[in-house]
Structure 1
Amino acid sequence: MEALQFLFSVESWRMAVFWTLSLIFSYLHLLFRGIFQKSQSYPRRSLHPSSEQPICIITGATSGLGAAAAKYLSREGYYVVLVGRSSHLLSKTIQEIKQQQEDVHLKALQVDLSSFQSMLSFKSSLEQWLLDTNLHPSVQLLINNAGILATSCRFTAEGYDQMVETNYIGAFALTNLLLPMLKNSSTPSRIVNVTSFTHRCVSQIEVDEETLSGKYLKCFSKSGRYPFARTYEYSKLCLLLFSYELHRQLFLMDPSHHISVIYCRYPQFRAADPGAVKTAIMREVPRHVSQLAFTVLKSLGILQSPENGVDSIIDAALAPREASGQYFFGGKGRTMKSSPLSYDAKLAEKLWASSCELLREAQLTMQESTKAS
């Protein structure tokens, strides 16, 4: 009965129809570009020679794409910091990777991206770990991979929608917290934001503080039910807008961005869209419905395993520095354009301002709580 109710809901049909069409459109667009235009792709580059071992931080690394990325990049010579909410699952993932290759360097740190306090604790733990292990206090690669698809309305301790905070606000906050360490790298550092083809389903959005926090998300649905599909699309589009805005601020607005030293001081930004991948992100969807969705996607030939779906993320992570600001999709180093709305500079500026204000309010709330205790 639960599966039937879910299957015939508006949000379920939105996922089935709009998401599938968006994914097919992305592949067709990639195909036509390859036939009629010179498709732009970037080769993967090996690590820059450096006396310091490169540090890579991957959020949502307990399974799926995060675990697959950790496995690949650890073999590339990165000291990979796996980040997730469950210490047990983090330890299990590290054990599985080391069973296949013992000499890799891995570290597990807990963080809940729906909690500002947890992110601050994570930063302190990371800095202390780097100090204790005599590693350089810098980060060379940050992959914002963590994401959830919540089918029910839940709010965090800060009062924000949990899905929006985990998928976007958490990535925004963590990136800003780690920015000094990324700038401290002696080699060009990178930030890869893992987004989704579902962002193409959004035709217009509001990015003021109240909408961003999720307080009025229920208003998006005429039925009054939680619009989880639209909320997920919203969070992924916000992540893209943030990626492009940060790229504009650090590169395009700096008249000396062509000087090589600038690439060391300021991290490069890329967006990666892995497409449809069979991961645990559908765990809140009724099992029979998720199995049906995977079966349909597999019959269409567009469902990937995490080991294959991670290609676009690795492409973005290891692409040369001129790939900053690109949207990677389809593997083989290929890039394409995201939705026209994602390139709206005024919308991105407004989103940036709203996000900064939410971050400031959260910091003030934590300070007041600390004083009160």
Structure 2
Amino acid sequence: MGRCEKAAKEIRIAAKSQHVVCRFLDLASLDSVTNFAKMINQELPHIDVLINNAGIMKPRPPKATPLTEDGFERQLETNYLGHFLLTNLLMDNLTNGEQPGRIINVTSAAYERGSIDLEDVEKSSLEGEEKLTELYYQSKLANVLFTDALSRKEELKNRITCNCLNPGVVHTNIDRYSSIPLYALSVYLYKPFQWFIMKTPLQGAQTSLYLSTEPTLSKTTGRYFDDCEFVSKTSEICDCELADKLWEASKMWTRLDERHTSVSHDLREGKS
């Protein structure tokens, strides 16, 4: 939260606006997501844009355990499942405006190498670096499948839009929970060249900003973008049947109906 407050202060100064606030959220905890949604729904009667951007890559002990407190593989919950729950718990406030609420999922070109077996999302047959890599690919594919399934929900037609994007290779701390000496050494060695081969965070954010603000995209949904350019419909780059199956599995894993009831109850109590 200290880093968050520092960033918020810089934005307030640059934007000459005090309407920038920090709130705590741990995407690797379904209870944290639920509590955050309760707070946000009470603070913000309407939400224009939700950008699902949290991500980790190849977390290892001692910095991170393979599983979260909820018992899910850490990359899957942080990069996808927490976002799935958050989006659905904020849905009422995303759909109550004159314009459709915009939902933007940050994925990666790595989704193309991903695969999902709903009976084995921990990829138990794999080990070591290969396992961590495949789990990361899986989480990025899940982002695309989530976008596709949500964009096809008939009951949400004309009420929300949902698109996903590849931000490119961006110099961030996505690898902060990875701790392999050789990996750390390679990061140190490429630092002098990083500005030539990687995007800055500002550059990496441009497609998210484009999807958030471009007027002509107010009704565009179910699309995949890269460098502020339309690439493909999600239905053309993923298995729609798998997307629907992942949606149903995610509802069960997160106990979505139960948590939504809890959030709605607290919102009514807060308003009363």
The normalised TM-score by structure 2 is 0.82
Q: How many residues align?
A: 250
Structure 1 unaligned runs (5+)?
A: 1-86, 131-136, 368-373
| CA displacement, residues 176-198 of structure 1 (integer Å, 9 cap, x when unaligned) | 11111111223221000000011
Q: How far apart are the structure 2 equivalents of 1:316 and 1:337?
A: 14
Tell me if structure 1 keeps the 8 A contact 2:105–2:165: yes
Return the offset for 1:205. Answer: 2.7
Q: Which residue of 2 aligns with 1:150?
A: 58
Local SS of the residue matching 2:36: helix
1:231 to 135, 145, 149: 135
Structure 1 segments (4+ residues) deviating >4 Å: 292-298, 338-342, 361-364
Q: Which residue of 2 aligns with 1:353?
A: 248
Q: Which residue of 1 aligns with 2:232?
A: 337
Q: Say whether residues 1:124 and 2:21 are aligned partners.
A: no
Tell me if structure 1 keeps the 8 A contact 2:54–2:79: yes
Local SS of the residue matching 2:230: coil
Q: Which residue of 2 aligns with 1:268?
A: 161
Return the offset for 1:166. Answer: 0.4
Return the offset for 1:339. Answer: 8.5
Tell me if structure 2 keeps the 8 A contact 1:200–1:338: no
2:83 to 167, 171, 174: 171
Local SS of the residue matching 1:272: strand
Q: How far apart are the structure 1 equivalents of 2:2 and 2:27?
A: 17
Q: Which residue of 1 aligns with 2:225?
A: 328
Q: How far apart are the structure 2 equivalents of 1:230 and 1:342?
A: 18
Return the offset for 1:98. Answer: 2.0
1:290 to 161, 184, 187: 187
Structure 2 unaligned runs (5+)?
A: 263-272
Q: Which residue of 2 aligns with 1:113?
A: 27
Local SS of the residue matching 1:105: coil
Q: How far apart are the structure 2 equivalents of 1:349 and 1:127?
A: 27
1:201 to 113, 120, 129: 113
Q: How far apart are the structure 2 equivalents of 1:268 and 1:101?
A: 27
> Which of the pair has more CA radius of gyration?
1
Change (3 A) 1:353 1:339: closer
Change (3 A) 1:201 1:311: same
Q: How far apart are the structure 1 equivalents of 2:79 and 2:13?
A: 31
Q: Which residue of 1 aligns with 2:153?
A: 249
The normalised TM-score by structure 1 is 0.61
Q: Please give the root-mean-square deviation of Cα atoms over the aligned residues, in Å.
A: 2.7
Q: How far apart are the structure 2 equivalents of 1:295 and 1:170?
A: 35
Local SS of the residue matching 2:105: strand
Tell me if structure 1 keeps the 8 A contact 2:251–2:257: no
| CA displacement, residues 131-157 of structure 1 (integer Å, 9 cap, x when unaligned) | xxxxxx111100000011133252111
| CA displacement, residues 46-72 of structure 1 (integer Å, 9 cap, x when unaligned) | xxxxxxxxxxxxxxxxxxxxxxxxxxx
